[in-house]
Amino acid sequence: MLDLKFVRTNPDKVKEALNKRGSAVGLDDFLALEEQRRQELVQVEQLKNRRNTVSEEIGRLKKQGQEAEAMVIEMRQVSQKIREMDEDLKEIEEKLSYTLLTIPNIPHESVPESLSEENNVEIRKWGAPKEFTFNPLPHWDIGEGLGILDFERAAKVTGARFVFYKGLGARLERALINFMLDLHTGKHGYTEIFPPFMVNRDSMTGTGQLPKFEEEAFRIDSVDYFLIPTAEVPVTNLYRGEILEGEKLPIYHAAYSACFRAEAGAAGRDTRGLIRQHQFNKVEMVKFTLPENSYDELEKLTANAEKVLQLLELPYRVICLCTGDLGFSSAKTYDLEVWLPSYGTYREISSCSNFEDYQARRANIRFRRNPKAKPEFVHTLNGSGLAIGRTVAAILENYQQQDGSVLVPKVLQPYMGVEKISK
Partner RNA sequence: GGAGAGAUGGCUGAGUGGUCGAAAGCGCUCGACUCGAAAUCGAGUGACCCUUUACUGGGUCCCAGGGUUCGAAUCCCUGUCUCUCCGCCA
Q: Which residues are catalytic?
A: 261, 276, 348, 351, 390
Site for RNA in 40-59 (CB under 7 A): 41-42, 45-46, 48-49, 51-56, 58-59
Nearest to 260 by CA among 158, 336, 117, 383: 158
The distance of closest approach from Cβ of residue 145 to RNA in the complex, given in angstroms and rounded to an integer, is 36
116 part of the interface to RNA, by CB under 7 A: no
Task: Please work out, in degrees rounded to the nearest 5, the angle formed at the alpha carbon of residue 260 by the alpha carbons of 257 and 261.
Answer: 140
Site map 207..246 versus RNA, x via CB under 7 A: ------------------------------------x---
Instruction: Please provide the DSSP assignment of 141-207 as one string.
Output: HHHHHHT-EEHHHHHHHT-TT--EE-THHHHHHHHHHHHHHHHHHHTS-PEEE---SEE-HHHHHHH
Indicate the residue type of 8: R
CA 350 to chain centre: 13
- Judged by CB under 7 A, the number of residues near RNA is 33
Q: Which is nearer to RNA, 374 or 423 (CB)?
A: 374
Q: Which residues of 37-73 are buried (b: 16+ CB within 10 A; e: fewer)?
A: beeeeeebeeeeeebeebbeebeeeeeeeeebeeeee
Q: Which is nearer to RNA, 44 or 352 (CB)?
A: 44
193 part of the interface to RNA, by CB under 7 A: no
Q: Which is nearer to RNA, 83 or 248 (CB)?
A: 83
The distance of closest approach from Cβ of residue 10 to RNA in the complex, given in angstroms and rounded to an integer, is 14
Query: Of all helices (H) and strands (E), which one includes residue 225?
Result: strand 225-227
Phi and psi torsions of 38, nearest 5°: -65, -35
The distance of closest approach from Cβ of residue 304 to RNA in the complex, given in angstroms and rounded to an integer, is 31
Query: Of all helices (H) and strands (E), which one includes residue 243?
Result: strand 243-245
Q: Which of 12, 24, 63, 109 binds RNA (CB under 7 A)?
A: 63
62 part of the interface to RNA, by CB under 7 A: yes
Site map 71..100 versus RNA, x via CB under 7 A: -x--xx-xx---x------x----------
Residues in the chain: 423
Site for RNA in 240-269 (CB under 7 A): 243
Q: Which is nearer to RNA, 351 or 359 (CB)?
A: 359
405 part of the interface to RNA, by CB under 7 A: no
d(CA 179, CA 386): 11
Site for RNA in 319-378 (CB under 7 A): 366, 370-372, 374-375
Q: How large is the greatest C-alpha to C-alpha distance in the chain, in angstroms?
A: 103
Report the interface residues with RNA, using CB under 7 A: 4-5, 38, 41-42, 45-46, 48-49, 51-56, 58-59, 62-63, 72, 75-76, 78-79, 83, 90, 243, 366, 370-372, 374-375
